Amino acid sequence: MARKCFYSFHYKPDNWRASKIRNIGTVEGNKPASDNDWETVTNGGDAEIRKWIKDQMKGRSCTIILAGSGTANRKWINYEIKEAWDSNKGVVVIYIHNITNSKGEQSNKGANPLYYVTHGPTGKRLSTIAKAYDPPRTTSKGVYSYIEDHIEDWIEEAIEIRKNND
């Protein structure tokens, strides 16, 4: 049975790449907001955005951060990571910079989004606890195939890591 996961990604530059990964089919993901729905949510301000994120995460066991060149340290990406971790969900980063966009272009690898989020009273960076995967392939097709072959294991590992780090 496919795990239910929440996908987090930087919409504007990576929505095409993220869509490819979301369509792998081995993971049941949250439905992306249409442009009109997202505009309605954002017009409600930060409180409405936080509520939308929490609602989207309900019933999910893991958050998958699809990291492109500019994903790390964005306000809402950080919030989604923290919300997932604080809700006892697994958290895993998958780099997607080598997946092509709608123009057939790859991008540069960005920083690890987990580095910018801390956990617990000591402020330990999540990058020292949770994992980030950079598929060891250079072609979009190769990266896609590698993710397809490993995503289920990465999710299970992320859930286990979270269980063992309260």
pLDDT digits (tens, 9 = 90+) for 13-34: 999 999 999 888 777 766 655 5
- pLDDT, mean of residues 63-69: 97
For the chain, the domain total comes to 1
pLDDT score of 156 more than 90: yes
Across the chain, mean pLDDT equals 92
Assigned token pair, 66: 């699809």
User: How many CB atoms are located within 10 Å of the residue 23 CB?
Assistant: 9
Chain segment 83-128, per-residue pLDDT in tens: 999 999 999 999 999 999 999 999 999 999 999 999 888 899 999 9
Contact 137, 129 (CB under 8 A): no
User: How many CB atoms are located within 10 Å of the residue 94 CB?
Assistant: 25
What domain range is 20 assigned to?
Answer: 4-163
pTM, to two decimals: 0.93
CA 166 to centroid of chain Cα atoms = 21
- Find the CATH number of the domain harbouring 88: 3.40.50
